Amino acid sequence: MKQPLAPHFLKIFLPIQVLALIAWALFFYDFRVENLIMVLIGWICIGGYGIAVGHHRLLSHRSFKTHPLIEKLISYFGLLAGQGSGLFWVAVHRGAHHPYADTEKDLHSPIHGKFNSYVGWQMRLDPRKVSFKKCGSLLSDPWHVFLHKHYIKIFWGSILLVSLLNWRVGLFMMVIPSFISMHTENCVDLFCHTKGLGYRNFTTTDNSTNIWWLGYFGFGQGWHNNHHYNQNAAVYSAKWWEVDPTRLMIFLIKSR
Ligand SMILES: [Zn+2]
Ligand SMILES: [Zn+2]
């Protein structure tokens, strides 16, 4: 029997696509510079600090150290990206992606099909089958456990609360950035592991590849072959023109 649609897909991914469609329509129909600024700020906070810096470099790879309060704040931003709690992101990334990249156990490898790699794996994922063993000490951190336990309530509660105060901020600073971040990471999962696309600086056992536009516009995530080669590095550029915007972002928050 086919696996039913995952609760996360129904409760987060799909509604965000619908809300984002409305938000984009309003954005272009009634274009205002202040709306664009809100999208940019939300994008940097949610997609940049939340996912690329927080869930990926800080929580999954422990690539740099920062003040515990900043870790708390950016893992909350990461939650707002609608890709699961920090614990879930780490469980999939540390537990199933890196050690098994482009093999049977890699949940979002394109070897399981392009659609599956982009979004299919999230549609049918049974959360009970995700092992959190590789989350290590994060599992005993009350903040991360709290965000994980109440993930959906916090996600929608935050958007609702902000939207009640100012619906433009809710739509442009939260919904659109969350939508962009979801699709950016889906693009990384698909394109940065597709053989024949992009280019490779290093020989690795997986199909990881560098895709320049996901490097520049995906907060460095697109320098993916560089990342798979040197997984613990905080900055993913290997050549001078492979700019990783998170270099500056991490510089601003890391502990000296
Ligand atoms: Zn990684
Ligand atoms: Zn990868």
Q: Which ligand is nearest to the CA of 193?
A: 2
pLDDT tens sequence across 118-163? 999 999 888 788 899 999 999 999 999 999 999 999 999 999 999 9
Question: Residue 127 carries which DSSP code?
Answer: G
CA quadruple 107, 203, 215, 131: dihedral, nearest 10: 20
The whole-model pTM stands at: 0.95
Q: Domain map of the chain by residue range? A: 7-253
Alpha helix (H) ranges present in 43-175? 68-79, 86-92, 114-115, 121-123, 142-149, 151-165, 167-168
Rounded percentage of the chain residues whose pLDDT exceeds 70: 99
pLDDT tens sequence across 1-11? 577 889 899 99
Ligand 1 centroid – CA 63 distance (Å)? 10
Query: Does the pLDDT of residue 237 top 80, yes or no?
Result: yes
Q: For the chain, how many residues are written?
A: 256
Nearest 5°: the CA angle 233, 174, 167 is 165
Question: How many whole angstroms from its chain centre is CA 250?
Answer: 16
Mean pLDDT of the chain: 96
CA quadruple 201, 117, 196, 215: dihedral, nearest 10: -40
pLDDT tens sequence across 88-128? 999 999 999 999 999 999 999 999 999 999 999 999 888 78
Ligand 2 centroid – CA 201 distance (Å)? 15
Ligand 2 centroid – CA 243 distance (Å)? 18
Ligand 1 centroid – CA 60 distance (Å)? 7
Rounded percentage of the chain residues whose pLDDT exceeds 90: 94
C-alpha distance across the termini of the chain, in Å? 54
pLDDT tens sequence across 35-92? 999 999 999 999 999 999 999 999 999 999 999 999 999 999 999 999 999 999 999 9
